[in-house]
Amino acid sequence: MKKQERADYIRARLKQLYPQPSIPLEHSDPYTLLIAVLLSAQCTDLRVNAVTPGLFELADVPEVMAQLPVETIEDVIRPCGLSPQKSKAIRRLSEILRDEYAGVVPETFEQLEQLPGVGHKTASVVMSQAFGHPAFPVDTHIHRLAQRWGLTNGKNVVQTEKDLKRLFPQDCWNILHLQIIYYGRQHCSARGCDGTSCEICKKCYPRRVNPVVTRKA
């Protein structure tokens, strides 16, 4: 298959497997999604979902979160890792949302990426899943699978995002991002497939025999 043919097949197959994928991070609005995505850095969604109910019980709006001591936030989110940095970012971004945005999460990449602890990937998730704007967040699963499927050279996540946006129609980016994540976790994980064993890898490269060494995100 040529690259575009692989992309078309992958899109069709993932639509069959995951017609209506849900957002893995539990949340109730753009603010709680923003906090959950921030916490998911170097942490599993499962652990984040175990931690956020306790955090949101204390504060689920910027006005209240901004009043919590950083130490209190850090104590609650410690299981997610990087708690000193994440707690300070959560407190500070909540203050900014309260003071500069009337407690409302902004709806542009530029404004989101200016918030403490919010990088392009986090902003992309919020823009796509909270607000419905076309975006293609690239996490470790997507970066790895895009390389295994020959959709990118994997130099970095920035390049991977550009390559995927060129290959797939804009109107499918938001759902395809979730579909790839689910497939990567269930069928093409870092240890569960080396580019030669899962259904999509074998379909895209039926003659491949050597494991694919992927570049880290």
Question: What are the residue numbers of the active site?
Answer: 121, 139
Q: Cβ(6)–Cβ(160) under 8 Å?
A: no
The 8-class DSSP code of residue 8 comes to H
Task: Give the Cβ contact number of residue 29 at 10 Å.
Answer: 12
Q: Cβ(104)–Cβ(132) under 8 Å?
A: no
d(CA 122, CA 135): 11
d(CA 182, CA 152): 19
Helices (H), 101-198: 109-113, 120-125, 140-148, 157-167, 173-186
Q: 3-class SS at 114? A: coil
Place of tokens 């916490």: 39
Q: Cβ(21)–Cβ(182) under 8 Å?
A: yes
**Helices and strands (H, E) in the chain, number of each type:** 12, 0
d(CA 39, CA 159): 24
What letter represents residue 81's amino acid? G
